[in-house]
A and B are shown apart, each in its own frame.
Chain A
Amino acid sequence: MGRDVLDARSRSYRRLILDILFKVKRGHIGSAFSILEIVRVLYDEILRYDSKNPKWEDRDRFILSKGHGCLGLYVIMAEKGFFPKEELFRFSTASGILGGHPEHITVPGIEASTGSLGHGFSIAVGMALAAKIDRKSWRTFTLVGDGECNEGSVWEAALSAAKLKLSSLTVIVDYNKMQCYSSTAEVLNLEPLADKWRSFGFEVREMDGHNLAEVQKTLRAAPFSKTKPSVVIAHTVKGKGIPDIENNPVWHHRAKTTEEELKPLLAALADPACAGEWEGVESP
């Protein structure tokens, strides 16, 4: 999983996030970089939605249960037209609609306000159950963090989803193996993670969460079973794309980022090929 798997578009998202971080001085950058390819593929080709009619009844539901990764979601939702791109540069400011965690009231297309861990997956279970009761064809996806899997409610939800045979539900675990303090192995070991989900009654797939071809192939096949809920364990790298940030707990959340700190990070992403559409978007 070297840097080589990130294409120009993936790099441009990261440059944009660094730019936002520099402008507003705060954000969970490591988590955002960890989920970018997953969210990109979901919104490119997996989820059914209408960004101009975000409450469309038959849309697929997506809940970013690990809400602190929201910068990785916002840059893609802006690109897809849920809200103006200029909002990105008002991230976490009094004049903007985008807070440090997703907020369903202020942000079109956000299904549920998350941030406190261990909530979004259960909400997704309720949504998938509603679809099942009403025999609707829309699907529910939720992206949970590995640190989030420390929460007991995640495993309550897993038991429940399996018991209810919610085959339209797909859980994606962002398994970057780092949490705020240190590695998941040190803080609260989740292994054997795939076996755990399997034993809870899920159909399990694993993928490299930064390899676009793998992410596409896996998510296109989801959900994987007609009788069981599905889970994708996405092996990712926290801070993916910038060596200084990768797997570095210092970058779990940053406030007051300085220009001196940012310059070498941007240089790490410097590549003429990544001068994408974002280059024209400026801070208002």
Chain B
Amino acid sequence: MRKTCLDQVYLLAQKDPRVIFIGSDIGAGTLDAFKREMPDRFYMEGVSEAHLISMMAGLAMSGKIPYLNTIATFISRRPFEHVLLDGGLHHTKIRLIGSGGGVVYGPLGPTHLALEDMAILRTIPGMAVVAPCDAEEMKRLMPQTLEWDGPMYIRLGKGGDPVVSRAELGFQIGKAILLQEGRDVLLVSTGITAQTALEAAGLMAAEGLQAAVQHMHTVKPFDRNAFLEQASRASAVISLEEHTVIGGLGSACAEALAEAGFDRPKRFARLGFPDVFPHSYGSQAELMEKYGITASDALKTAQKLLESKSRQL
């Protein structure tokens, strides 16, 4: 996904002279062709993220569209105030491409996990937070980043993620995609949990439950109307995210549900990382499993929610 994303930046730069690429201190050889062909628009500027974010704002204020790539933690947490003020307050067209959103860097330990990136960036007025589910969806997103007004955070997955998005469903920043219809349970995904949700829907079908899968590639602006339309039809709603359950997709769903004014409260659960620092290492898949963010966890959660519903009815 990262390679696809950066290749897209290269393609965008070829057709639009406003595009600038900035890296902090990323892998050797990254975008070599870009550097060779457009040296005055390729910058590798060192491990100085706070400065880089504000420098990008200065470029954007002067008509450029800068794309910055570094590790997600160091683009969101560390320079947060620079993102908030110089990206958000100035509403600049800066593009922050965060490598290793979630627990992609699980083997590297807790300092490199980006479990709160979407939550903190979501608090910035005017900030778009986008997490495509696979490389094909990334290809559909990137051309739209040129004209999107204001700052944007693009969360990258691990790479080599199975392709579950479908071209015929289209793509528009801020618009949810219904990957699958179903009337019993609504599964809401972002990023790579789209594949988890689709897998869960398969498990549910085997149990006689029809699950809809709604993919929220854009967590902000949150497509509240589309979400509530689907939620209104479902008996239970489950959000799935590779992120803390505080402040991200699950919170956006909870906020919308709480304010929706449904006659009966929806049965609702958030699957995501709990409010702890994971002190274990291992792969992305292992950490997701440890913290209960798998298809089988979604199935069990759905059964429990529907059970509690039938009990109360």
| Distance of A190 Cα from B46 Cα, bound (Å) | 24
Does the CB pair A130–B63 fall under 8 Å? Answer: yes
CB-defined contacts of A160 to chain B, threshold 8 Å: 45-46, 48, 51-52, 55
Task: Report if A36 contacts B (CB, 8 A).
Answer: no
| Distance of A152 Cα from B78 Cα, bound (Å) | 12
Task: Report if A221 contacts B (CB, 8 A).
Answer: no
Does the CB pair B54–A153 fall under 8 Å? Answer: yes
Chain B interface residue number, banded: 20 to 34
Task: Report if A88 contacts B (CB, 8 A).
Answer: no
Task: Report if A126 contacts B (CB, 8 A).
Answer: yes
| Distance of A111 Cα from B64 Cα, bound (Å) | 16
- Interface SS of A by simple majority: helix
Task: Report if A156 contacts B (CB, 8 A).
Answer: yes
Residue of B nearest to A123 (CB): B58
Among A104, A122, A134, contact of B55 (Cβ-Cβ < 8 Å): A122
CB-defined contacts of B228 to chain A, threshold 8 Å: none
A148 to chain B, nearest CB (A): 13
Residue of B nearest to A120 (CB): B54
| Residues of A within 8 A of B (CB-CB), count | 27
Map CB proximity to B onto A150-169 as digits: 1 under 8 Å, 0 otherwise: 00110011011001100000
Does the CB pair A156–B64 fall under 8 Å? Answer: no
Does the CB pair A156–B59 fall under 8 Å? Answer: no
CB-defined contacts of A273 to chain B, threshold 8 Å: none
CB-defined contacts of A124 to chain B, threshold 8 Å: 58
Among A116, A129, A133, A159, contact of B48 (Cβ-Cβ < 8 Å): A159
CB-defined contacts of B115 to chain A, threshold 8 Å: none
Does the CB pair A127–B61 fall under 8 Å? Answer: yes
Contacts A133-B41, A157-B55, A159-B46 hold; do A119 and B64 have CB atoms under 8 A apart?
Answer: no
Does the CB pair A119–B54 fall under 8 Å? Answer: yes
Among A113, A127, A156, contact of B89 (Cβ-Cβ < 8 Å): A113
Map CB proximity to B onto A219-252 as digits: 1 under 8 Å, 0 otherwise: 0000000000000000000000000000000000
Does the CB pair B59–A129 fall under 8 Å? Answer: yes
Does the CB pair A130–B58 fall under 8 Å? Answer: yes
Residue of A nearest to B60 (CB): A126
Does the CB pair A126–B89 fall under 8 Å? Answer: no
CB-defined contacts of B43 to chain A, threshold 8 Å: 164
A sample of 30 cross-chain residue pairs with beta-carbon separation below 8 angstroms, ordered by A number, consists of A112-B61, A112-B90, A113-B89, A119-B81, A119-B85, A122-B53, A122-B55, A122-B57, A122-B82, A122-B86, A123-B61, A124-B58, A125-B55, A126-B60, A127-B58, A127-B59, A128-B58, A129-B55, A130-B58, A130-B59, A131-B62, A133-B40, A153-B48, A153-B51, A156-B48, A157-B51, A157-B54, A157-B55, A160-B48, A163-B45
Q: Which residues of A contact B (CB under 8 A)?
A: 104, 111-113, 116, 118-119, 122-131, 133-134, 152-153, 156-157, 159-160, 163-164
